[in-house]
Amino acid sequence: MHQLVKFAIGTITFLSCLQRTLSAQALTYKFNWTGENGYSATVDFDFNDLDNDAIVRANNSNNFNEFTVFNITFRELVRNSLVTLATYDLNQLQSFNPNFNFNYDFVNNVVLQTGNFSDADGFSIGDGDNGFF
């Protein structure tokens, strides 16, 4: 009887840990950014950290996009009203030139940005005519 109880407890513990692991894969990250002069952005994304470096990249060291979902909306505050400047999804971003470049350190909850859109840790979202670099 004691062996059966231990097995049942062990199985429940294992399944509970497995559920936490599986559900961690399904997390959607969301954040809001407010910049100068009334500019802001809202972002939500899902990803797979394919190279296990704790940074999700649009173009990792193996040239793979680690994002599975990526949506971003840029807005500007005009006369106390938020005006949408642009909204992009992952499919659009992957077709643009310059290339989609977004890097997120999910351990420290930080967007990486060197100041140059083409750097490995740069920021480039949008096409060559309408975009945010």
pLDDT tens string 99-131? 888 999 999 988 888 888 778 888 888 877 777
Vertex 73, ends 67 and 27: CA angle to 5°?
Answer: 40
pLDDT over threshold 50, residue 3: no
Tokens of 30: 């969301």
Give the residue, 9 or 81, on which the prediction is more confident.
Answer: 81
Q: What is the pLDDT of residues 83-94, one digit of tens each?
A: 999 999 999 988
pLDDT over threshold 50, residue 24: no
C-alpha distances out from residue 83 to 13, 37, 75, 86, Å: 50, 13, 5, 9
The pLDDT, as a whole number, for residue 60 is 67
Grouping H, G, I as helix, E, B as strand and the rest as coil, residue 63 is: coil
pLDDT over threshold 50, residue 1: no
Cα 119 to the center of its chain, rounded Å: 18
| Rg, C-alpha atoms of the chain | 20
Give the residue, 97 or 15, on which the prediction is more confident.
Answer: 97
The pTM for the full model equals 0.73
* Residues forming beta bridges with residue 126, ordered by sequence position: 131
Q: With bands split at pLDDT 50, 70 and 90, how would you rate the model's confidence at 61?
A: low
